[in-house]
Amino acid sequence: MAATAVLFLADLIRGRQAGFPVATVIGFGVIAYLVAAFITAAMGIPSFLVLRHFNLVRWWSALLSGAAIGVHIAFAFGAVPDGVAIIVMSTAGAASAFVLWLIVVPVTTSNNRVWTPP
């Protein structure tokens, strides 16, 4: 979410510099956000379920899978993306997956460790 806000702000600044009205830039930003949210859910939920099945939900697996999804999206939306697009999309994907990990780990970990004296 934070990565999306930063990217949206950057697009807003670039859109204003290009001479587009603020309403147009915000409108297209909302549409792009909805499309990105759908694609993120469509790719992120199966990735999370596979990682959870193999008990691999760790911070590093979240970063790697998020970055891989970001690179995949960069190639899906740009036939041959430049290096900057790959870096931005992989960083945004890794950040999003890491935030999901921060939210999910406290919920999925068990706190049933009871110490019994000998």
Whole-structure pTM over 0.85, yes or no?
no
Per-chain mean pLDDT for the chain: 80
Which has more pLDDT, 12 or 108?
Answer: 12
In this prediction, residue 61 has a pLDDT band, given cuts at 50, 70 and 90, of: very high
Contact by Cβ (8 Å): 73, 41? no
Question: Higher model confidence: residue 50 or residue 12?
Answer: 50
Going by C-alpha positions, the residue among 46, 94, 45 that lies closest to residue 70 is 94
Q: Say whether pLDDT at 112 is over 70.
A: no
Instruction: Confirm if 92 and 71 have CB atoms less than 8 A apart.
Output: no
Say yes or no to pLDDT of 117 above 90.
no
Per-domain residue ranges of the chain: 2-105
- Return d(Cα 25, Cα 23) in angstroms, integer: 6
- 8-34 pLDDT per residue, tens: 777 778 777 888 888 887 888 788 778
User: pLDDT > 90: what percent of the chain?
Assistant: 12
| CA 106 distance to own-chain centroid | 19
Higher local confidence (pLDDT), 15 or 1: 15
d(CA 48, CA 99): 13
State how far the Cα of 89 lies from the Cα of 4, in Å rounded to an integer: 10
